[in-house]
Amino acid sequence: MSRPFTVLLALAVLAPLPLAAAPAAPAANGPQSYIDGNPQTKNNPQIAAVRIITVDGERPLNVPFALPPGPHWIEAVPQTASAAQAPKSQSFVLKIQPCTYYYLAARRNPVVQGSWKMIVDAEETITSCNPADELRKARTAMARPQPTAPTPPASGSH
């Protein structure tokens, strides 16, 4: 056998193993719904990208940001060339559906400078995701007891 054929044969034999394991990994690791501040509409000057500031009061560390199904409070601001031009942030509640990718955007008002409204520019269904599993995982996560803060020692009487 020639060397290139051997390499191709090895790849063909080994390739199905990672592919077979791949679908199980995301399902076990958590939510498969995402929000992204990069809109799908590219040719409309009234539609702009947004910078997601907080989700449920916490700063997202990466984008796209993974979320479990259910309502989430999102705060964002349009991306601009400079911080001096940036309009005030806006907040809204978005009901996240399981297995859905949301593209958020700012719709600018051409009549009133600096005026804008946050919108969902597009949604895509994540086909490799099972909505029933995502809802089950979200319910399980909510049902887990949350850690409680330790109680301070009693003061005073000795």
Q: Is the pLDDT of residue 35 over 60?
A: yes
Given a cut of 60, is residue 27 above it in pLDDT? no
Q: Among the residues of 46-156, which ranges form H helices?
A: 131-143
**Segments forming the whole domain that contains residue 34:** 29-130
Is 2 inside a domain boundary? no
Average pLDDT of span 33-42: 94
Query: What is the number of domains present in the chain?
Result: 1
End-to-end Cα separation, the chain, in angstroms: 86
pLDDT attached to residue 131: 83
Q: What is the pLDDT of residue 104?
A: 97
Structure tokens at 144: 């887990």
pLDDT recorded at residue 30: 57
Q: Which helix (H) or strand (E) holds 82?
A: none
User: pLDDT for 88-139, tens place per residue?
Assistant: 899 999 999 999 999 999 998 888 877 899 999 999 999 888 888 888 877 7
Cross-strand pairs, 48 = 106
Let me know if residue 158 belongs to a domain: no
Write down the pLDDT at residue 94: 96
**15 occurs within a structural domain:** no
Whether residue 146 is contained in a domain is answered as no
Please check whether residue 110 lies inside any domain of the structure: yes
- Asked if the structure places residue 103 within a domain, the reply is yes
In a domain, residue 57? The reply is yes
Q: Which two tokens stand for residue 48?
A: 């702009």
Instruction: Give dist(CA 116, CA 47) in Å, integer.
Output: 9
Query: Does residue 122 lie within any of the structural domains?
Result: yes
Q: pLDDT tens digit string along 62-71?
A: 889 999 889 9
